Amino acid sequence: MATPRIPNYLRAHRKRLGLSQDDVAFLLGSATGAKMCRYESFNRVPTLQAALALEVVLGRPVSELFRGIFQTVEIEVRGRAKKRADALVSAAPKAQPRTKVLREIANSETKQRPKGK
């Protein structure tokens, strides 16, 4: 099982770029860095639009910026895919193509992206 990770790595990537919370907040369309502070301290999860904007600003994929959340979601989806595949095998033998796809999801490994500088 993978090592648990913190919910997000926003602060580390922001600091790597030398940006302040106010800088990033402005780029996200906020007047102050308060919202960015809440994101970085895990008190708030950004909307999809804000998460995609953070990907643009910080130059990292959303799945990397929010690695801990991504890891949790990934485990849950794989578990549900296995459960669904098992149910289809016994309930609907004709669903073999769907079962194959579900098993691939359940058993897939996340491809690690190379770390940029």
Q: Amino acid letter at 27?
A: L
Same domain, 75 and 35: no
pLDDT digits (tens, 9 = 90+) for 67-81: 999 999 999 999 999
Q: Indicate the number of domains in the chain.
A: 2
Q: Which residues have a Cβ under 8 Å from the Cβ of 4 and sit 6 or more positions away?
A: 68, 71
Diameter of the chain by CA atoms?
57
Residue 60's domain comprises 10-65
Question: Distance (Å, rounded) from C-alpha 82 to C-alpha 88?
Answer: 10
pLDDT digits (tens, 9 = 90+) for 45-68: 999 999 999 999 999 999 999 999
Same domain, 60 and 89: no
Whether residue 51 is contained in a domain is answered as yes
Three-state DSSP at 32 gives coil
